[in-house]
Amino acid sequence: MKNMLARFERRVFSFALSVVFIAVVFNLRTVCGDFRYTVQEERKDRYVVGNIAKDLGINPQILSRRKARIDSEDSSKRYVDIDLKTGDLVIAKTIDREKLCGSRLDCMLDYELVLENPLELHRIVLKIEDINDNAPKFLNERITFEIHELASKGQRFRLDEADDSDIGQNGINSYSLETNNHFILSVQGSNEKGKYAELVLDKELDREQQTDIDLILTAFDGGNPQKSGTAVIHITVLDANDNSPVFSQPVYKVALAENSPLGTEVVIVSATDADEGANGAVSYEFSRIANNAAQLFTIDKVTGTIKVIGEIDYEEEKYYEIKVQAKDGSGLATTASVVIDIIDVNDNAPKIVLKSLKNPIPENAVVGTEVAIINVQDTDSGDNRQIHCSIQQNVPFKLNPSIKNYFSLITTSSLDREIEDSYNITITATDGGSPTLSSSITIHLSVSDVNDNPPAFDERIYSAYIAENNKPGTSICSVTARDPDWRQNGTVLYSLVSSEINGVPVSSFLSVNGDTGVIHAVRSFDYEQFRSFKVQVVARDNGSPPLSSNTTVSVFISDENDNSPQILYPAPEGKSLMTEMVPKTALSGSLVSKVIAVDADSGQNAWLSYHIIKSTDPGLFTIGLHTGEIRAQRDITESDNMKQNLVISVKDNGQPPLSTTCSVFLLISDNLAEVPELKDMTYEENNSNLTSYLIIALVSVSTFFLTFIILILAVRFCHRRKPRLLFDGAVAIPSAYLPPNYAEVDGTGTLRSSYNYDAYLTTGSRTSDFKFVRSYNDNTLPASGTLKMFQDDPFGSSIINTDCIEIWFQSQDCDIENERELLSFKKLVMHYELD
């Protein structure tokens, strides 16, 4: 069987061989008649491909003769022709192999060469050879990819194939890719099947780094010269949310002044997200914020602007730390800190707190006494809390800084409630801000009283004048003492200092109203008894202990005309019989007698005037108006009545005047014996006393004459009309004649006041007289005697009976020229008195 099979195989093989042989024989025959030519494509017209005549072995002329021609089944494919002159086969039409044969490897054109005479048929095969006349070409010159940025390394992306119409070696041979960071090229396939390239991701993409990548892909063919074609690969990197937002700063530090108005922009935080679209859309919010800060700040979701929405107060919080979060669309978030430092603004005035106050403060508080303690505070900081404290001027207080922020208010001088009983002390605190703020408080401080002022009388000495014979209870003056102290410390009570006046308690003369200081007379005063006295009044306040002061009240009693003149000489009628002897030879103007009268009153009330109101022989005698001197008016003659009787009125100058009358008996005779009626002139009942009366009369007469002699002597000494001056009543009058009343006045001896003398002096006394008078103005004669040593007597230690002088003054109208004259006169008088 096997054998059979082999035999069969052998037979088939030999049959095949025979077929091949026959075919080869037949072909040879054909080939013998065939002409093969090879020509490259794209040859120009008339390009000689070969010489047919030569190949046929015939003369080229024969060809035209035999009408050689090329035939083709398809006339459109007639690319070659025969040149009959040369027998060349030439290109008739440029051949494009690619058009003719496309991608077929063998590209043959079949033609028939026809010869006539004899008809001969030859086959011409024209083989067209490829030349590299086409460059590789991409169908799309722009290749686009969208690759996710998270694509992993090694991922491949197939690229479009390039196309080259040429074949074989001239077809696509290789690809190359522009050098870049992310991709490499991997070429796949073979020449036969076609080659294509793949992009291989060699390094991860980052959209945030590069969104678009353009790469140039080049395809090369294998021809010579090589041709290439390019395409651009455009890669769009697709985003992945692979980036969190990033703040521009990790910490935003800003300073914000307190009291910034609402809406003030504090800071803009900004975060960027490299991603795009929703992945990169950042929104802001506070991620951690204290409650108080949440009331004050807000953040704009979109812009990241932080603004003020509340009142920023440095004193409440000095800084805020807020965490801000930036979040992208898909929730990736980052945080940053915003630190807001609040800057102090001087918006708080200093505060003054009165910690303690000693009110009222006694006026005797020693200098430096602490009155108040104040504390100053300022809630601002830095310079804004540097406080300066001051107090207004012109108050006796100052601020003493003590412990930090504490001041004590102390006195700087002694206080006196009586001058300033309260103070409004204004304390001002100013801080060091710019502009400064200040505040002030006023402390009302009272000064309390201390009994430090004794009552003070308005006047040092009070003088009160009261007319004698006053009604008891009359108010004579009022004293006032003031005490500036407060309430009972300044309440004044008046009282008399108990003393005695002439042995009588002062309280029986005067009383003082304790509250008003009005002094009342308790009894009726008699000027003739005493003319002035002094009392001391004490003003005492009600303090504890009380303070007091005293004043002297001099009470001057003024005279009233309550005493009639008293005739001293001649003795009043009925008591004694006085007869003056007048010499018959008496000439006109000679002094005959003198009426002497006194008035217990003083001044005008005691200024006496004498008038003859009735006389035996009117015109014979005249009386000096004020002297009381009776003088002969004319020479006495024998015819004149021997007995002359004169009634004389003595009147004082008071208002109304008081008067007394007396009778003067004058006997014109040179001899007592010639007086027959002398007996008649005596009184029987007084006989027993006759002797003494006679003695008195004799003494009187002799006194009179003595006086007369002195007068004459005085005239010698006096420059002017002195004789009458020296005839003084006081001198002439023996003290025995002085009435008891008169003597008593002298004895109790309160001197008249100058007030009394004022009236007196108007009658014509000279200045020198006044001086004299004034000298004893304030002195009281001691009760014990009529004589007194004048302490402030301008005449030195002269001793004088004032009433004598007064009498002298009443009667004289002579000028005492100088004090020496007066002195000598006074001494004369004194001498008399002492005797």
Ligand X SMILES: *[C@@H]1O[C@H](CO)[C@@H](O)[C@H](O)[C@H]1NC(C)=O
Beta carbon of residue 450, minimum distance to ligand X (angstroms, whole number)? 4
Options 301-309, 467-475, 535-543, 775-783: segment touching ligand X (CB under 6 A): 535-543
- Rounded Cα–Cα distance for residues 314 and 319 (Å): 8
Q: Which of 268, 441, 538, 828 binds ligand X (CB under 6 A)?
A: 538
Our finding on whether 489 is near ligand X (CB under 6 A) is yes
Beta carbon of residue 461, minimum distance to ligand X (angstroms, whole number)? 12
Our finding on whether 422 is near ligand X (CB under 6 A) is yes
Options 139-147, 466-474, 536-544, 638-646: segment touching ligand X (CB under 6 A): 536-544
Our finding on whether 395 is near ligand X (CB under 6 A) is no
Beta carbon of residue 373, minimum distance to ligand X (angstroms, whole number)? 21
- Rounded Cα–Cα distance for residues 714 and 722 (Å): 7
Beta carbon of residue 440, minimum distance to ligand X (angstroms, whole number)? 13
Q: Which of 550, 605, 707, 812 binds ligand X (CB under 6 A)?
A: 550
Residue 542 Cα to chain centre, angstroms: 45
Which amino acid is present at 289? Answer: I
Options 172-180, 188-196, 418-426, 622-630: segment touching ligand X (CB under 6 A): 418-426
Nearest residue to 566 via CA among 696, 398, 722, 729: 729
Q: Are 68 and 55 in contact (CB under 8 A)?
A: no
Of 46 and 487, nearer to ligand X (C-beta) is: 487
Beta carbon of residue 485, minimum distance to ligand X (angstroms, whole number)? 7
Our finding on whether 486 is near ligand X (CB under 6 A) is yes
Beta carbon of residue 386, minimum distance to ligand X (angstroms, whole number)? 30
Beta carbon of residue 428, minimum distance to ligand X (angstroms, whole number)? 16
Q: Are 367 and 412 in contact (CB under 8 A)?
A: yes
Of 7 and 444, nearer to ligand X (C-beta) is: 444
Of 40 and 488, nearer to ligand X (C-beta) is: 488
Beta carbon of residue 753, minimum distance to ligand X (angstroms, whole number)? 24
Burial class (CB in 10 A: 0-12, 13-18, 19+), 465: middle
Locate 386 and state its tokens. 């540097």
Q: Could you say which residues in the range 423-452 bind ligand X, by CB under 6 A?
A: 423-424, 444, 448-451
Of 240 and 547, nearer to ligand X (C-beta) is: 547
Of 493 and 612, nearer to ligand X (C-beta) is: 493
Options 69-77, 119-127, 416-424, 511-519: segment touching ligand X (CB under 6 A): 416-424
Of 229 and 454, nearer to ligand X (C-beta) is: 454
Nearest residue to 217 via CA among 195, 191, 192: 195
Of 424 and 516, nearer to ligand X (C-beta) is: 424
Options 480-488, 709-717, 746-754, 809-817: segment touching ligand X (CB under 6 A): 480-488
Beta carbon of residue 453, minimum distance to ligand X (angstroms, whole number)? 10
Name the DSSP letter for residue 729: H
Burial class (CB in 10 A: 0-12, 13-18, 19+), 272: middle
Beta carbon of residue 545, minimum distance to ligand X (angstroms, whole number)? 8
Q: Could you say which residues in the range 584-643 bind ligand X, by CB under 6 A?
A: none
Q: SS3 sequence, 673-727?
A: HHCCCHHHHCCHHHHHHHHHHHHHHHHHHHHHHHHHHHHHHHHHHCCCCCHHHHC
Options 481-489, 553-561, 641-649, 700-708: segment touching ligand X (CB under 6 A): 481-489
Beta carbon of residue 481, minimum distance to ligand X (angstroms, whole number)? 12
Locate 616 and state its tokens. 């035996």
Options 38-46, 283-291, 397-405, 484-492: segment touching ligand X (CB under 6 A): 484-492
Read off φ and ψ for residue 318, nearest 5 degrees: -95, -25
Q: How many residues bind ligand X (CB under 6 A)?
A: 17
Of 518 and 538, nearer to ligand X (C-beta) is: 538
Q: For residue 530, what are the CA distances in angstroms to 359, 504, 548, 601?
A: 58, 13, 30, 12
Of 304 and 543, nearer to ligand X (C-beta) is: 543
Going by C-beta distance under 8 Å and a sequence separation of 6 or more, which residues neighbour residue 550? 457, 497, 536, 537, 538, 539
Beta carbon of residue 489, minimum distance to ligand X (angstroms, whole number)? 4
Of 200 and 456, nearer to ligand X (C-beta) is: 456
Sheet holding 34-40, edge to edge: 34-40, 120-129, 108-115, 69-71
- Rounded Cα–Cα distance for residues 432 and 456 (Å): 53
Of 246 and 395, nearer to ligand X (C-beta) is: 395
Beta carbon of residue 488, minimum distance to ligand X (angstroms, whole number)? 6
Q: Which of 298, 488, 576, 763 binds ligand X (CB under 6 A)?
A: 488
Helix (H) or strand (E) holding 511: strand 510-512
Options 220-228, 419-427, 462-470, 718-726: segment touching ligand X (CB under 6 A): 419-427
Which residue(s) pair with 399 in the sheet?
A: 409
Nearest residue to 157 via CA among 148, 145, 141: 145
Q: Which of 11, 104, 142, 487 binds ligand X (CB under 6 A)?
A: 487
Beta carbon of residue 356, minimum distance to ligand X (angstroms, whole number)? 20
The CA-based diameter of the chain, rounded to the nearest angstrom, is 265
Which amino acid is present at 227? Answer: K
Going by C-beta distance under 8 Å and a sequence separation of 6 or more, which residues neighbour residue 673? none
Angle at 211 between CA 205 and CA 216, to 5 degrees: 80
- Rounded Cα–Cα distance for residues 374 and 397 (Å): 13
Of 377 and 424, nearer to ligand X (C-beta) is: 424
Cis peptide before 545 (omega within 30 of 0): yes
Beta carbon of residue 772, minimum distance to ligand X (angstroms, whole number)? 33
Read off φ and ψ for residue 480, nearest 5 degrees: -135, 130
Of 440 and 661, nearer to ligand X (C-beta) is: 440
Of 484 and 624, nearer to ligand X (C-beta) is: 484
Binding track over 197-216 against ligand X, x by CB under 6 A: --------------------
Our finding on whether 497 is near ligand X (CB under 6 A) is yes
Of 495 and 768, nearer to ligand X (C-beta) is: 495
Q: Are 660 and 566 in contact (CB under 8 A)?
A: yes
- Rounded Cα–Cα distance for residues 302 and 358 (Å): 65
Beta carbon of residue 423, minimum distance to ligand X (angstroms, whole number)? 6
Our finding on whether 166 is near ligand X (CB under 6 A) is no
Options 185-193, 421-429, 647-655, 720-728: segment touching ligand X (CB under 6 A): 421-429
H-helix segments, 103-145: none
Of 425 and 591, nearer to ligand X (C-beta) is: 425
* Tokens 């002088």 sit on residue: 805
One-character DSSP codes across 288-347: E--HHHHTTEEE-TTT-EEEE-S---TTT-SEEEEEEEEE-TTS-EEEEEEEEEEEP-S-
Beta carbon of residue 420, minimum distance to ligand X (angstroms, whole number)? 7
Our finding on whether 355 is near ligand X (CB under 6 A) is no
Our finding on whether 453 is near ligand X (CB under 6 A) is no
Locate 817 and state its tokens. 């020229």
Q: Are 653 and 762 in contact (CB under 8 A)?
A: no
Our finding on whether 812 is near ligand X (CB under 6 A) is no
Beta carbon of residue 542, minimum distance to ligand X (angstroms, whole number)? 9
Q: Could you say which residues in the range 739-758 bind ligand X, by CB under 6 A?
A: none
Q: Site residues (CB under 6 A) for ligand X?
A: 422-424, 444, 448-451, 486-489, 497, 536, 538, 543, 550
